[in-house]
Amino acid sequence: MLNDVIFGQYYPQKSFVHRMDPRAKIVLMIAYIVAIFLANNFYGLAAVVLFLIVAVLFSRVPFGSVLRSVKMILFLIVFTAILNLFFYSTENVHLIWQWGILSLSWESVINMIFLALRLFLLVMGTSILTLTTAPVELTDGIESLLKPLKYIKFPVHELALIMSIALRFIPTLMDETNRIIAAQKARGADFETGGLFKRAKAMIPVLIPLLVSAFRRAEELGDAMDARCYSGAKGRTKYKKLTFTWRDLAATFVVAALITGVVLLNIYLGGKFDILYYFL
């Protein structure tokens, strides 16, 4: 049921993206997100799609694995698309159908497709970060980027550790959920028939043992850290030093070119609704 959840998993590989500095990957991922929201037409999104394809090829991660990361928020994408389809309002719209407060126009259709593509690209791009960065590297990268906050007594190391553990335990909890569901099905539970409320009610026997398992794993992890005399960032050193390489510089230029291209496409090729002038 939840076997295809990819977010939080690490795909070991020797690739260009895997060998990049985790700090560079985090910063460039933020720049990638900025490029997505800067794009105000389909040409800009096409440039983002091209960049995403190149990034997947250079990471040597199966494209299907990256694509499956969208399944986690597929309901959110569909729900957002429906809301934008029937509740989008603007002046001088090309109406297709209207009934009360509900309306359907060509502008709402285009806006729905545009926002769905944005969410789709957002999730696929961010999943590359976790697929190509080990949890330890991700922790070191976040801690290094937030290092200036230490001067105001902010617990940077603890925050980075919490984020890393949370990402690491997502696949573990998904596997635990699958085992609990399989056990409940063996006892005659039905999760696939009935209405929405019936299915939600059927999930209660799954949530309770899942919470118990999560708390048990958290307690075991705490005991393991205590047994290894973990005391936070105080006095800790790094086994591996993070260093920027030519790969990080090359990726920086590529992302900078992406943002520049998106801005130029916005300026010279208009907005997302310009396509209507060719058909209506």
Dihedral in degrees, nearest 10, Cα atoms 191, 119, 144, 222: -10
In the chain, the amino acid numbered 34 is V
d(CA 69, CA 132): 14
Q: What is the mean pLDDT of each run of 10 residues along the chain (280 residues)?
A: 58 89 93 92 90 93 81 77 68 60 69 86 88 84 84 82 78 82 80 71 81 88 85 69 89 94 86 56
- Per-residue pLDDT at 276: 55
- Per-residue pLDDT at 97: 62
Please list, residue by residue across 166-186, b when 16 or more beta carbons sit within 10 angstroms of its beta carbon and e when fewer do. Answer: ebbbbbebbebbeebbeebee
Domain boundaries, the chain: 22-279
- Per-residue pLDDT at 70: 76
- Per-residue pLDDT at 113: 84
- Per-residue pLDDT at 1: 47
Residues 155/101, Cβ–Cβ less than 8 Å: no
d(CA 2, CA 13): 24
Q: 142 CB contacts (<8 Å, ≥6 apart)? A: 26, 159, 160, 163, 164
